[in-house]
Chains A and B, each alone.
Chain A
Amino acid sequence: MSEMEKRIGQLKKPKFRNSSELSTEQLNDPDFRLKQLEKLNKGKTTITCSKCHHCR
Chain B
Amino acid sequence: MIVHWYSKANMDTLNQENRTEFGFQWHITNRCNLRCTHCYQEDYSGSNELDIDGLKQIADEIVRTLAKWGKQCDIAITGGEPLLKEGVFPLINYLESFDEIASVDILSNGTLINEGIVEQIRDLKKVRCIQISLDGASVESNDAIRGKGTFGKALTSIRLLRKSGISVNIMFTLQRRNVRDILSIIDLAVAKGVSSLTIERFVPTGSGAKIRDELLSPEEIKRVFGYISERAEQEINRGGLTSISRSRPLWVMCNRSSLGADMTDNDATGGICSIGLDGLCILPDATVLPCRRLPIPIGNLKDDSLLKIWHTSDLLWEIADKRNLKGKCNSCEFITRCSGCRAMAYACTGDYLAEDPQCFK
Given A54-B200, A56-B131: A33 and B276 within 8 A (CB)? yes
Contact B273 A14 (CB under 8 A): no
Query: Is A30 touching B310 in the complex (CB atoms < 8 A)?
Result: yes
CB neighbors of A among B1-27 (8 A): 1-6, 10, 14, 22-25
Instruction: Give bound CA distance, A37 to B173, whole Å.
Output: 29
Contacts of B298 in A (CB 8 A): 14
Q: Tell me the dominant secondary structure on chain B's binding face.
A: mixed
Per the bound structure, the CA–CA distance linking A37 and B74 in Å amounts to 22
CB neighbours of B200 from chain A (8 A): 52, 54-55
A4, A28, A55, A56: the one within 8 Å of B291 (CB): A55
A36–B272 alpha-carbon span in the complex (Å): 14
In the complex the two chains form, is A54's CB within 8 Å of B274's CB? no
Q: State A41–B304 Cα separation when bound (angstroms).
A: 32
Whether A8 pairs with B350 at a CB distance below 8 angstroms is: yes
- B297-309 interface mask toward A, CB cutoff 8 Å, 1 = contact, 0 = none? 1111000100011
- A1: CB under 8 A from chain B? no
B window 102-153: CB within 8 A of A: 105, 107, 109, 131, 133
- Closest Cβ of chain A to B131, distance in Å, is 5
The interface residues of chain B lying within 8 Å CB-to-CB of A36 are 320-321
Which A residues, 8 to 56, have Cβ-Cβ distances below 8 Å to chain B? 8, 11-19, 22, 26-28, 30-31, 33-34, 36-38, 40-41, 43-56
Residues of B within 8 A of A54 (CB): 171, 198, 200, 248
Count, A-B residue pairs, CB within 8 A: 158
Q: Is B1 touching A48 in the complex (CB atoms < 8 A)?
A: no
Q: Is B157 part of the contact surface with A, judged by Cβ < 8 Å?
A: no
Complex: A10 Cα to B311 Cα, angstroms = 21
Given contacts A4-B350, A46-B271, A56-B78, contact A16 B314 (CB under 8 A): yes
| Cross-chain contact of B105 among A26, A47, A53 (Cβ < 8 A) | A53
The residues of A with any CB-CB pair to B shorter than 8 Å are 4, 7-8, 11-19, 22, 26-28, 30-31, 33-34, 36-38, 40-41, 43-56
Enumerate 8 A-B pairs (CB-CB under 8 Å) in ascending A order: A16-B309, A17-B313, A27-B312, A48-B6, A49-B272, A51-B14, A53-B198, A55-B107
The 3 closest A-B pairs by CB, nearest first: A50-B23, A48-B271, A50-B279
Q: Given contact pairs A15-B313, A50-B24, enumerate 20 new A-B contacts (beta carbons under 8 Å).
A: A11-B296, A13-B297, A14-B298, A16-B304, A16-B313, A26-B311, A30-B22, A33-B277, A45-B272, A47-B2, A48-B4, A48-B271, A51-B14, A51-B247, A52-B248, A54-B171, A55-B25, A55-B107, A55-B291, A56-B107
